[in-house]
A = this chain, B = another copy of it.
Protein backbone atom coordinates (compact mmCIF):
# COMPACT_ATOMS: atom_id res chain seq x y z
CA UNK A 1 0.00 0.00 0.00
CA UNK A 2 2.97 2.29 0.63
CA UNK A 3 3.87 1.91 -3.03
CA UNK A 4 0.36 2.76 -4.16
CA UNK A 5 0.27 5.81 -1.91
CA UNK A 6 3.60 6.90 -3.34
CA UNK A 7 2.45 6.28 -6.92
CA UNK A 8 -0.73 8.28 -6.29
CA UNK A 9 1.46 11.16 -5.13
CA UNK A 10 3.54 10.96 -8.30
CA UNK A 11 0.36 11.12 -10.40
CA UNK A 12 -0.63 14.33 -8.58
CA UNK A 13 2.86 15.85 -8.88
CA UNK A 14 3.04 15.12 -12.58
CA UNK A 15 -0.45 16.51 -13.16
CA UNK A 16 0.62 19.79 -11.54
CA UNK A 17 3.70 19.87 -13.74
CA UNK A 18 1.65 19.13 -16.87
CA UNK A 19 -0.76 21.92 -15.96
CA UNK A 20 2.20 24.34 -15.99
CA UNK A 21 3.12 23.01 -19.44
CA UNK A 22 -0.42 23.70 -20.72
CA UNK A 23 -1.18 20.00 -21.26
CA UNK A 24 -4.12 19.53 -18.90
CA UNK A 25 -5.96 22.84 -18.64
CA UNK A 26 -9.76 22.85 -18.43
CA UNK A 27 -9.65 19.45 -16.63
CA UNK A 28 -8.48 17.88 -19.93
CA UNK A 29 -5.69 15.36 -20.38
CA UNK A 30 -4.44 12.96 -17.74
CA UNK A 31 -2.00 10.30 -16.63
CA UNK A 32 -1.99 6.79 -15.26
CA UNK A 33 0.83 4.78 -13.69
CA UNK A 34 1.01 1.01 -13.40
CA UNK A 35 1.85 -0.44 -10.00
CA UNK A 36 2.33 -4.21 -10.34
CA UNK A 37 -0.97 -5.74 -11.46
CA UNK A 38 -2.82 -2.49 -10.77
CA UNK A 39 -3.09 0.88 -12.47
CA UNK A 40 -3.46 4.17 -10.58
CA UNK A 41 -5.82 6.42 -12.54
CA UNK A 42 -6.93 9.99 -11.84
CA UNK A 43 -10.64 10.86 -11.73
CA UNK A 44 -12.48 12.37 -14.69
CA UNK A 45 -13.34 16.04 -15.04
CA UNK A 46 -11.40 17.41 -12.07
CA UNK A 47 -8.89 20.23 -11.98
CA UNK A 48 -5.68 18.37 -12.70
CA UNK A 49 -3.39 20.80 -10.86
CA UNK A 50 -5.36 20.46 -7.59
CA UNK A 51 -5.72 16.68 -7.28
CA UNK A 52 -4.82 14.88 -4.06
CA UNK A 53 -3.68 11.24 -3.72
CA UNK A 54 -6.92 10.23 -1.95
CA UNK A 55 -8.86 11.04 -5.13
CA UNK A 56 -7.14 8.33 -7.20
CA UNK A 57 -8.72 5.11 -8.47
CA UNK A 58 -6.95 1.75 -8.40
CA UNK A 59 -7.93 -0.43 -11.34
CA UNK A 60 -6.89 -3.89 -12.41
CA UNK A 61 -5.38 -4.27 -15.87
CA UNK A 62 -8.74 -5.43 -17.24
CA UNK A 63 -10.25 -2.11 -16.18
CA UNK A 64 -12.26 -3.25 -13.17
CA UNK A 65 -12.18 -1.02 -10.10
CA UNK A 66 -10.10 -2.41 -7.23
CA UNK A 67 -10.31 0.62 -4.97
CA UNK A 68 -12.04 3.94 -5.34
CA UNK A 69 -11.93 7.30 -3.59
CA UNK A 70 -14.39 8.05 -0.78
CA UNK A 71 -16.04 10.86 -2.77
CA UNK A 72 -18.97 9.11 -4.53
CA UNK A 73 -19.18 11.78 -7.26
CA UNK A 74 -15.82 10.81 -8.75
CA UNK A 75 -15.54 8.53 -11.79
CA UNK A 76 -12.34 7.15 -13.33
CA UNK A 77 -10.79 9.18 -16.16
CA UNK A 78 -12.57 8.87 -19.51
CA UNK A 79 -9.16 8.05 -20.94
CA UNK A 80 -9.07 4.76 -19.04
CA UNK A 81 -9.79 2.44 -21.97
CA UNK A 82 -7.18 4.29 -24.00
CA UNK A 83 -4.63 4.08 -21.23
CA UNK A 84 -5.31 0.33 -20.98
CA UNK A 85 -4.72 -0.12 -24.72
CA UNK A 86 -1.11 1.07 -24.40
CA UNK A 87 -0.61 -0.97 -21.20
CA UNK A 88 -2.02 -4.14 -22.74
CA UNK A 89 -0.50 -3.88 -26.24
CA UNK A 90 2.87 -2.36 -25.29
CA UNK A 91 3.40 -3.25 -21.69
CA UNK A 92 3.49 0.44 -20.85
CA UNK A 93 4.21 1.32 -17.22
CA UNK A 94 2.64 4.76 -17.56
CA UNK A 95 0.55 6.61 -20.13
CA UNK A 96 0.19 10.38 -20.55
CA UNK A 97 -2.61 12.17 -22.37
CA UNK A 98 -1.92 15.80 -23.30
CA UNK A 99 -4.11 18.50 -24.85
CA UNK A 100 -0.98 20.46 -25.81
CA UNK A 101 -1.84 23.15 -28.31
CA UNK A 102 1.39 22.35 -30.17
CA UNK A 103 0.10 18.82 -30.81
CA UNK A 104 -3.30 20.08 -31.93
CA UNK A 105 -1.75 22.56 -34.37
CA UNK A 106 0.56 19.82 -35.71
CA UNK A 107 -2.47 17.66 -36.52
CA UNK A 108 -3.82 20.53 -38.65
CA UNK A 109 -0.60 20.68 -40.69
CA UNK A 110 -0.01 16.96 -41.27
CA UNK A 111 -2.32 14.40 -42.89
CA UNK A 112 -2.31 10.81 -41.66
CA UNK A 113 1.19 10.85 -40.21
CA UNK A 114 3.33 13.41 -38.45
CA UNK A 115 6.97 12.99 -39.44
CA UNK A 116 10.20 14.75 -38.67
CA UNK A 117 13.88 13.94 -38.97
CA UNK A 118 17.22 15.37 -37.88
CA UNK A 119 16.31 17.10 -34.67
CA UNK A 120 18.29 16.17 -31.55
CA UNK A 121 15.16 15.63 -29.47
CA UNK A 122 14.22 12.68 -31.70
CA UNK A 123 16.90 10.79 -29.77
CA UNK A 124 14.74 10.98 -26.66
CA UNK A 125 12.31 8.51 -28.23
CA UNK A 126 12.95 4.78 -27.65
CA UNK A 127 14.99 3.23 -30.46
CA UNK A 128 15.26 6.40 -32.52
CA UNK A 129 18.41 8.16 -33.65
CA UNK A 130 19.14 11.60 -35.05
CA UNK A 131 18.99 10.63 -38.73
CA UNK A 132 15.86 8.48 -38.36
CA UNK A 133 12.52 9.64 -39.57
CA UNK A 134 10.22 9.79 -36.58
CA UNK A 135 6.66 8.92 -37.59
CA UNK A 136 3.62 9.44 -35.35
CA UNK A 137 0.27 8.16 -36.60
CA UNK A 138 -2.67 10.58 -36.45
CA UNK A 139 -6.10 9.19 -35.71
CA UNK A 140 -9.35 11.07 -36.20
CA UNK A 141 -11.11 12.43 -33.14
CA UNK A 142 -14.52 11.15 -32.02
CA UNK A 143 -17.37 12.71 -30.08
CA UNK A 144 -16.81 10.47 -27.07
CA UNK A 145 -13.32 9.78 -25.71
CA UNK A 146 -14.07 6.06 -25.23
CA UNK A 147 -14.89 5.72 -28.95
CA UNK A 148 -11.24 6.48 -29.69
CA UNK A 149 -10.11 3.15 -28.26
CA UNK A 150 -10.56 1.08 -31.42
CA UNK A 151 -8.61 3.41 -33.69
CA UNK A 152 -5.94 3.99 -31.05
CA UNK A 153 -5.43 0.24 -30.77
CA UNK A 154 -5.30 -0.08 -34.56
CA UNK A 155 -2.64 2.64 -34.73
CA UNK A 156 -0.58 0.99 -32.00
CA UNK A 157 -0.72 -2.30 -33.91
CA UNK A 158 -0.01 -0.72 -37.30
CA UNK A 159 2.98 1.25 -35.97
CA UNK A 160 4.75 -1.28 -33.79
CA UNK A 161 7.61 1.07 -32.87
CA UNK A 162 5.67 4.22 -32.11
CA UNK A 163 5.62 5.48 -28.53
CA UNK A 164 2.79 7.95 -29.17
CA UNK A 165 -0.39 8.51 -31.17
CA UNK A 166 -1.72 11.92 -32.16
CA UNK A 167 -5.47 12.54 -32.08
CA UNK A 168 -6.54 15.15 -34.61
CA UNK A 169 -7.78 18.45 -33.12
CA UNK A 170 -7.47 16.88 -29.69
CA UNK A 171 -3.92 16.12 -28.46
CA UNK A 172 -1.73 13.05 -28.06
CA UNK A 173 -1.18 9.89 -26.05
CA UNK A 174 2.41 8.87 -25.16
CA UNK A 175 3.71 6.10 -22.94
CA UNK A 176 6.86 4.41 -21.67
CA UNK A 177 8.14 1.50 -19.64
CA UNK A 178 7.72 3.58 -16.47
CA UNK A 179 6.51 7.07 -15.61
CA UNK A 180 9.98 8.54 -16.06
CA UNK A 181 10.29 7.32 -19.64
CA UNK A 182 6.65 8.19 -20.40
CA UNK A 183 7.24 11.76 -19.23
CA UNK A 184 10.59 12.05 -21.03
CA UNK A 185 9.05 10.85 -24.27
CA UNK A 186 5.97 13.07 -23.91
CA UNK A 187 8.26 16.09 -23.44
CA UNK A 188 10.31 15.15 -26.49
CA UNK A 189 7.21 14.61 -28.64
CA UNK A 190 5.71 17.90 -27.52
CA UNK A 191 8.94 19.74 -28.32
CA UNK A 192 8.98 18.13 -31.78
CA UNK A 193 5.33 19.04 -32.46
CA UNK A 194 6.15 22.65 -31.56
CA UNK A 195 9.36 22.66 -33.61
CA UNK A 196 7.54 21.22 -36.64
CA UNK A 197 4.90 23.94 -36.47
CA UNK A 198 7.61 26.61 -36.32
CA UNK A 199 9.43 24.97 -39.23
CA UNK A 200 6.28 24.90 -41.36
CA UNK A 201 5.64 28.54 -40.52
CA UNK A 202 9.17 29.42 -41.69
CA UNK A 203 8.98 27.24 -44.82
CA UNK A 204 11.56 24.73 -43.58
CA UNK A 205 10.68 21.09 -44.42
CA UNK A 206 10.35 18.82 -41.39
CA UNK A 207 11.92 15.89 -43.23
CA UNK A 208 15.04 16.49 -45.31
CA UNK A 209 14.88 15.17 -48.86
CA UNK A 210 18.14 13.33 -48.43
CA UNK A 211 19.95 11.95 -45.49
CA UNK A 212 17.00 10.23 -43.88
CA UNK A 213 17.79 6.77 -42.55
CA UNK A 214 15.54 4.55 -44.65
CA UNK A 215 15.82 1.73 -42.17
CA UNK A 216 13.69 3.81 -39.90
CA UNK A 217 10.86 3.58 -42.35
CA UNK A 218 10.33 0.03 -41.13
CA UNK A 219 8.34 1.55 -38.33
CA UNK A 220 5.70 2.54 -40.85
CA UNK A 221 2.93 0.06 -41.75
CA UNK A 222 3.14 -1.88 -45.01
CA UNK A 223 -0.19 -0.48 -46.12
CA UNK A 224 -1.59 3.02 -45.75
CA UNK A 225 -3.08 3.49 -42.32
CA UNK A 226 -6.43 5.11 -41.61
CA UNK A 227 -8.91 6.84 -43.83
CA UNK A 228 -10.31 10.32 -43.48
Contact = CB atoms under 8 A, between A and B. Distances in A.
Interface of A: 25-28, 47, 99, 101, 104-105, 108-109, 118-121, 124, 129-131, 141-143, 167, 169-171, 180, 183-185, 187-188, 190-191, 194-195, 198-202, 204
A187 B25 contact: yes
Nearest to A25: B187
A105 B191 contact: no
A214 to B, nearest CB: 15
Contacts of A200: 202
Contacts of A180: 47
Contacts of A26: 121, 124, 184-185, 187-188, 191
Copies in the complex: 4
Given A130-B143, A202-B108, A124 B28 contact: yes
A141 B124 contact: no
9 contacts: A25-B190, A47-B184, A104-B119, A105-B198, A118-B141, A119-B170, A120-B167, A130-B142, A200-B202
Contact of A118 (B47, B119, B169): B169
Contacts of A169: 118-120
A180 B104 CA distance: 25
Given A26-B185, A27-B124, A28-B188, 8 more contacts: A26-B184, A28-B121, A47-B180, A101-B194, A104-B120, A104-B195, A118-B141, A120-B170
Contacts of A119: 104, 169-170
A195 B101 contact: yes
Residue from A25, A142, A143, A167 having most chain B Cβ neighbours under 10 A: A25
